[in-house]
């Protein structure tokens, strides 16, 4: 697995996990965070555009 994909998966997984934890312990409105991330992952499967990959390209991480 290449570096960019590992960083992307780590970022997405961390944001989703934190969003679910905040939704459970703080306020259910925090569940919008993992929902938005999930919707972004679905749209990137169809369009090929992912904001995280775009940011990683700008920072210079990956291939």
pTM: 0.86
Per the structure, how many domains does the chain have?
Answer: 1
**Token pair in block for residue 44:** 């990137």
**Token pair in block for residue 40:** 């972004």
Parent domain of 16: 3-59
Cα–Cα dist 15/18, whole Å: 5
CB atoms within 10 A of CB 5: 13
Contact 25, 17 (CB under 8 A): no
Encode pLDDT of 9-62 as tens digits: 999 999 999 999 999 999 999 999 999 999 999 999 999 999 999 999 999 887
CB atoms within 10 A of CB 9: 12
User: Who contacts 41 (Cβ-Cβ below 8 Å, separation ≥6)?
Assistant: 12, 50
């Amino acid at each position: 697995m290449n570096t960019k994909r590992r960083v992307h998966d780590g970022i997405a997984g961390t944001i989703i996990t934190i969003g679910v934890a905040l939704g459970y312990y703080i306020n259910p409105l925090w569940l919008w965070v993992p929902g938005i991330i999930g919707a972004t992952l679905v749209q990137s499967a169809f369009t090929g555009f992912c904001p995280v990959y775009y940011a990683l390209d700008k920072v210079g991480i990956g291939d």
